[in-house]
Structure 1
Amino acid sequence: MGKVQITQTRSTIKRPETQIRTIKALGLGKLNRTVEVELTPQIAGMIAKVNHLISVKEI
C-alpha cells in the first residue's frame, strides 16, 4: 500500500454528521489542513465517502 496526501478543500458546515465524523477521523477539520496517511481499504472508503470535500494526491 502506498501513502496519500489528503487536503480538506471544502467546509463541513451544513454537512451530515457522518461526513463531519469522517473528516475528523481522517485527521482533518479545518480548511487547507493536510495529512499523510497509508492507503488502506478503510482509508479508501473514507476518502470515497467525503471525496467532494477533499483533494487526494498520491505520494
Structure 2
Amino acid sequence: MASKLRVTLIKSKHGRKASHQACLIGLGIRKIHNTVEVEDTPCTRGMIAKVSYMVRVEEQ
C-alpha cells in the first residue's frame, strides 16, 4: 500500500505564478491552513517540490 503525505498550505497563493497555483489546485488545496492527504507518488512529489516554499509536508 502506498504511503500518504499530509500537505498544508502555509502561505497565500495569491500573486503567485499561474503554474504554481495550478499545482495547488492539482493537490486539492484551496485556502491557507487547508490540509489534504495525497498519495506519495512521483507526480505528487513533483508538484510539492514546485510549491515547497508555500506548503508544509508531513509523512504518515
Same fold (TM over 0.5): yes
The TM-score with structure 1 as length reference comes to 0.95
Q: Please name the residue that 1:57 is paired with.
A: 58
> What is the root-mean-square deviation in Å for CA atoms of aligned residues?
0.7
Q: Gaps spanning 5+ residues in structure 1: where?
A: none
4+ residue stretches of structure 1 with deviation over 2 A?
none
Q: Gaps spanning 5+ residues in structure 2: where?
A: none
The TM-score with structure 2 as length reference comes to 0.93
Q: Percent identity?
A: 37
Q: Please name the residue that 1:15 is paired with.
A: 16
Q: Please name the residue that 1:44 is paired with.
A: 45
- Number of corresponding residues: 59
